[in-house]
Amino acid sequence: MNTKSGPNAIRYVGIAEAADKVRNADRILVIGCSGGGKSTLSQKIARRFGLAYVSIDRDVLWLPGWVQREKPEQHRLIAELTAGERWIMDGTNTSTFDIRVPRSDLVIWVRMPRWLCIWGIWSRWITNRGGTRPEMAPGCPEKIDFDFFRFVWTWEKVYGPRVLAGLAAHAADKPVLMLKSRREMRDLLDLVGAGA
């Protein structure tokens, strides 16, 4: 995959190169829209390579009852978790890219089409209705409403440019893999022996 030139270039890599990086990485950051599959991908890689799985939703952002932690506490937790030696961290939150991206050996951007993300949030709601999924904070049962649908439907337009700006500002020479289909995700998992 071509690499942009310039002082704030993002160094995109292909799936084969990213698979080599995954095999040797101590710290991987997985970002993208809700419903795209970043939690599933992260957990499979975590199990395969013995990395600590960190969910921003579960470990940083949410308290029981869908109450958000205060920003200073979020930043403290992010700094503490990112200081760990071996992890895979699932969550976008561009306001903490300055802490998380430089510490990562690889960034994986799960950039699925919005219809697929909508399908993802709908199917996980059906699967977990009334319960809390493992990557979510305790006391935050699965929910879905119009605001969340709108958030996912407009995510690429609203947050895509923020992700690009954050990566340009903080990724430096870090490799960034962009996954745009389930097939690409399966190909990566197969190459690193974490499929199924």
What's phi and psi for 166, nearest 5 deg?
A: -65, -40
What's the rounded Cα separation, in Å, for the pair 108 and 21? 11
pLDDT along the chain (196 residues), means of 10: 56 96 97 96 96 96 94 95 97 94 97 95 86 87 90 96 96 95 96 82
What's the rounded Cα separation, in Å, for the pair 88 and 42? 6
Q: Cβ atoms within 10 A of the Cβ of 162, count?
A: 14
CB contact at 8 A, 131 and 109: no
User: Which pair of structure tokens corresponds to residue 89?
Assistant: 């961290």
CB contact at 8 A, 108 and 177: yes
pLDDT of 5 reads 44
Domain boundaries, the chain: 11-190
CATH of 11-190, one of 3.40.50.620, 3.40.50.300, 3.90.230.10, 3.40.50.2300: 3.40.50.300
Total-model pTM: 0.92
End-to-end CA gap in the chain: 26
